[in-house]
A and B are shown apart, each in its own frame.
Chain A
Amino acid sequence: MKDSVKHIAVLVSAGRHPVSGEPRHCHNDSLALALGLNLASKVQVLHAGTPSNPALQDYFALGATQIDVVPNSDDIIESLAAQLTDANLILTGTRAESGEDSGLLPYLLAAKLNVPIVADALEIKANREQLEVLQFLPKGRRRRVLVSLPAVVAVHPSAAEALHFVHARKNLGNINTLHASNTKMQTIIDDSKQADSKQWRAKPARKPIKLIAQTAQTGHERLMAAISNKAKGGTVVNEGNNVEKAQVILRYLREHQLIEF
């Protein structure tokens, strides 16, 4: 049932090519756009940042016809939320698996708008007043969840949506810059604690240092630890016939709830 959800908004950010550093579309957000365009023939595409960013044109190639740009401000969540008060469904990408992004934005938006949020979506289907989401879980597990609308849905990077990139469309879209003045909804005073860019000090990338508990070891203890065989090794079953050995394996699997029979 196409178009059964009114007013779908897709939030897109500007990504960078991992090797060349060239500005380009962000893969996760493109998946969110594709899922949105599956549900409705027209979606609102929203970007917080600079209107002249060349990465935005990629989203025209991917099917957007207009991008509303909210200029950067002190409180991006505030400015975005002001644009989204009427939206029934807000789609975003989930943080990259590699953790290059905090993944907080969809949660902050949902909290601000006081609507539910479902993350790690692989597929979405409109179902009257509700949305049916197929959610990613590790180890090959998937979960179906119904969420009431309006809602925020963050799309998982392995959503199997094919991206249709049409170069000819790249210059056909329209960038609409929204005024900062009409993005102000209200000022929240106790937002000062909220995690934002002010909290962070940027340092060049290096290998992170692992936290290790301090051990007060004497030289002798260290030597012994180094030369003694630390590998614990588990149970070794040498005795018995093959049936008994097989039973030992089965018992182990059951004891640790690794099988369901």
Chain B
Amino acid sequence: MTTRINPHRLVQASPADLKHPSNNIKRIVLSTAQIAVEAHPAKWLRTPSKPKSRVLVIAHSDRGALDDHALQTIAAAAILADAETAVLALILGELNDDLSSAAADEVMILPALDFQIFQPDIELASVLAIIELLKPKHIFLPDNLIGDGDLGRRLAALKKLSVATHVLEIDVQHVASAQSGGCVLAQSNLPEVILLAPNAVDAELPFTAKATRIDAPTINHAASPYQAHYQDMGLQTSAAEDIALEDADFIVSAGNGVQNLATLASLASSLNAAVGASRVVVDDGKFPRDKQIGATGKTVTASTYMAIGISGAVQHLQGIKDCRHVIAINKDASAPIVKRANLSVIGDAEAVMQALMIEIEKAKEVVA
């Protein structure tokens, strides 16, 4: 009697089977977990062993981390660098992250030059000293409003360097920026100073780099020719409710799973956060239309986005794609928001919010 082979059996292909040259059978294998791992082959190391030249990326950090725009700028430099060029990331402000996955070959940190303090003359003097020392071929900066756009323009104007600002398109040969009210996409050869617009580069890289820490040269500010023309009188942060959602740094957002909006409002005020909402909640008339976040509402860029009782429909996720830290509170562990969130707490929205407010009060008392 012949034994029948079960046609519905699980295919048992190992990664070795697929790799072996004698195994020419092409098949689609979906069932084994090991093979899915193969989909992300180890990244290769880009760092040149004997670099002949350097490119410099300058970016301010915010609370010890670089934002996506800064990471994109490092990625651009790394993609364009040839095999004999090293990418040096000069970070102004503290840095807690490792920049090897950002593909910086070398990292130099000047913690005193935090973006919160206005000291363009000292920043410029420091950067000039480093440029003098390392003679980079190109200097990349994110064209932002936390000091990098300003610094790049000061540098180019003072040293009469060729420069392109708000660069929307870049490759080995050219850069392009919008001119004449957006009617023209003007192109130029790669200039010495490149100020990149956000999202002109994909920061997802197939390679990593060594991110070797190198010490900054000692910079003698007293001897610098830049007089102290400026005096910083301090930073002020507006109350969260006065800030437009697009401009807010911390948003607590209400979805259909929030029973008690008053709890959410007081949680938001204890975190000094702005309040947003999903479309369902806005459609219910609980919030004005200008609080809606998503494809048909507002696109927000807050560093922290707390999604409470929000399922995370694609239309909603579109509006928060640039948020760095997404925290979800949801009773359903399979809700799509859980895949997007950096931290998901599975539980009842009202109960977790109440507990969180008590913890926040306690934490504030300890500090005070």
Contact = CB atoms under 8 A, between A and B. Distances in A.
B5 interface: no
Given A249-B356, A256-B65, A238 B38 contact: no
A238 B343 CA distance: 11
8 contacts: A104-B165, A140-B240, A142-B236, A201-B186, A205-B184, A225-B40, A236-B346, A261-B366
B231 interface: yes
B122 interface: no
Contacts of A256: 63, 65, 325
A136 B145 contact: yes
Contacts of A224: 35-36, 38-39
A74 interface: no
A55 interface: no
A143 B41 contact: no
B125 interface: no
B78 to A, nearest CB: 8
Contacts of B1: none
Contacts of A148: 229-230
Interface of A: 15-16, 18, 95, 98-104, 107-108, 110-111, 115-120, 130, 132, 135-148, 151, 190-191, 193-195, 199-206, 208-216, 220-221, 223-225, 227-229, 231, 233-238, 242-243, 245-250, 252-253, 256-261
Interface in B193-227: 197, 199-202, 204-207
Given A137-B146, A142-B238, A245-B345, A261 B363 contact: yes
Contact of B186 (A104, A203, A216, A223): A203
B171 to A, nearest CB: 6
Contacts of B231: 130, 145-147
B243 A140 contact: yes
Contact of A140 (B156, B165, B180, B237): B237
B234 A236 contact: no
Given A146-B233, A213-B206, A249 B343 contact: yes
B326 to A, nearest CB: 8
A79 B271 CA distance: 52
A190 B238 CA distance: 46
Nearest to B172: A211
Nearest to B64: A257
B42 interface: no
A141 B235 contact: yes
A71 to B, nearest CB: 20
A249 B157 contact: no
Given A140-B238, A195-B191, A199-B162, A248 B343 contact: yes
Contact of A233 (B164, B181, B339, B345): B339
A102 B180 CA distance: 10
A211 B234 contact: no
Contact of A104 (B41, B76, B157): B157
Interface in B284-338: 302-304, 325-327, 329, 333, 338
B143 interface: yes
A231 B118 contact: no
A197 to B, nearest CB: 9
B191 A199 contact: yes
Contacts of A210: 169, 199-202
Given A147-B229, A205-B183, 8 more contacts: A100-B178, A100-B180, A102-B166, A145-B232, A148-B229, A199-B191, A228-B36, A252-B325
Contacts of A102: 163, 165-166, 177, 179
B30 interface: yes
A247 B362 CA distance: 11
Contacts of B65: 256-257
Interface in B117-168: 118, 121, 143-146, 149-150, 153-154, 156-158, 160-166, 168
B249 interface: yes
B185 A247 contact: no
Nearest to B191: A195
Nearest to A108: B157
Contacts of B345: 237, 245, 248-249
B58 interface: no
B91 interface: no
Contact of B359 (A193, A236, A243): A243
A104 B359 contact: no
B360 interface: yes
B341 interface: yes
A130 B229 CA distance: 9
